Amino acid sequence: QLQLQESGPGLVKPSETLSLTCTVSGGSISDSTYFWGWIRQPPGKGLEWIGSIYYSGSPDYNPSLTSRVTISVDTSKNQFSLKLSSVTAADTAVYYCARHLGSWSYYFDCWGQGKLVTVSS
Amino acid sequence: DIQMTQSPSPLSASVGDRVTITCRASQTISTYLNWYQQKPGKAPKLLIYAASSLHSGVPSRFSGSASGTDFTLSISSLQPEDFATYYCQQTYSTPYTFGQGTKLEIK
C-alpha cells in the first residue's frame, strides 16, 4: 500500500528557506503514471496547490509562488522535496505531499499526513 | 487562474438527510473536477474524480454530477462519519485550484 510521509523542520525563521522532503514507500516514484505534488493549508483555511513534478523532472509551479519555490525529485531515495525561500508568517501552514494521476483526470489519490510548518522568529 | 466557488457554507444537516453541495467554475473545465473530504487534523481524501466517478472504497451514498460549469456532490443518506469539510478541485489547467470548502455540520 502506497504511503507518503513529510519530514523537515516544523519551525522556520522569517526570510529563511523552508525545506521539506516527502518519502514514498510501498511504490516507486518512477512510476510513469503519476506526478508528485505539494499542497498547503494555512490554519483554518483552504487548500492551495504549490506545484508538482514528474519522476524525470520538469516541475510545474503555482505562478503565485514560482519566484520562491523549487521542487525536486531523487529517484534513488524514492523522495521528492520542496524548498520555499524568503518565508514570512503568511507561509505558516500544514504542508501535504501527494500523488496525482499524470493524465486524464489528474486527481490526487494518495496524501501524506501533513507537516505543520510555523514561520516565526 | 480558474476560480472555484462552493455553496453553501456551512451546511447544517441531520443523520439520514440527503444533502447537495455545489461548486461553480469561473470558466469551462470539462469534467476535470474532483471532490475531497477532510476531517479535522487529517489529510483530504479523494471521493469523486472526473466529476462523477466514485473513487475506490468510497461508499455508494456519495455521487457527483456536472452541468456546464456547475458541479454537485450529493450524499444520499448522511452517516455520522460524513460530517466533515468538503472541497472541490479543478484539474483542467494549472494552477490547480480548490473551492473554499463546505463544512457539513450536525443540525
pLDDT of chain A, 121 residues: tens digit per residue:
999 999 999 999 999 999 999 999 999 999 999 999 999 999 999 999 999 999 999 899 999 999 999 999 999 999 999 999 999 999 999 999 999 998 888 999 999 999 999 999 9
pLDDT above 90 covers a percentage of chain B that reads: 99
Sequence-ordered strand ranges (E) for chain A:
3-7, 11-12, 18-25, 34-41, 48-54, 57-61, 69-74, 79-84, 93-101, 108-111, 115-119
Q: Does B14 touch chain A (CB under 8 A)?
A: no
Nearest by CB to residue A105, choosing from B91, B94, B99, is: B91
Q: Is the pLDDT of residue B60 over 90?
A: yes
**B44/A64 touch (CB, cutoff 8 Å), yes or no:** no
Measured distance CA(B89)–CA(A48) in Å, rounded: 10
Q: At B105, list the grid cell.
A: 455540520
Looking at residue B43, its pLDDT comes to: 98
* Grid coordinates of A13: 525563521
pLDDT (average), residues B29-34? 97
Mutate to test the interface with B, among A5, A60, A66, A108 (most CBs of B within 10 A): A108
Q: Is the pLDDT of residue B55 over 90?
A: yes
pLDDT at B45 over 90: yes
Which of B37, B45, B91, B97 to mutate against chain A (most A CBs within 10 Å)? B91
- What's the whole-number mean pLDDT along residues B53-57? 98
Q: Which residues fall within 8 angstroms of residue A56, CB to CB, at 6 or more apart?
A: none
Contacts of A64 in chain B (CB under 8 A): 95
Side by side, which strands form the sheet with B70-75? B4-7, B19-25, B70-75, B62-67
What grid cell was written down for A53? 513534478
pLDDT of residue B22: 98
Proportion of chain B above pLDDT 70, given as a percent: 100
